[in-house]
Amino acid sequence: MSEDYSIKVNATKEQIKELKSSTIWKDICRELDFWTEGFDKEGDSIVARIASENLSTPAALTLLGSIDGRKSAVRYFKNILDVFLDVIESRKEEE
């Protein structure tokens, strides 16, 4: 049994563009920017803890890696509408 991990987009190009320019999408992106700021502050506090508490390197790297993963997920999500548009364009080229 094979898994299909391809992205399927049911929305139209016009619907995605409308969402991309909407107030709700701008609100979502602003909130995600706020999250990224929080991740940056968390990373800064870990660096400060490393200096003051002699936090072990593996633990520090694990924490910093977790923060980087969350920041990457936020960046990906903020670009998801462009990914959808690319999928639609690729689908058109294949047809």
DSSP the chain: ----------S-HHHHHHHHTSHHHHHHHHHHHHHHHHHHHHHHHHHHHHHHH---HHHHHHHHHHHHHHHHHHHHHHTHHHHHHHHHHHHHHH-
Task: Indicate the domain borders of the chain.
Answer: 14-94
Q: What is the pLDDT along the chain (95 residues), one digit of tens a residue?
A: 567 778 899 999 999 999 999 999 999 999 999 999 999 999 998 888 887 877 677 878 888 999 999 999 999 999 999 999 999 998 877 77
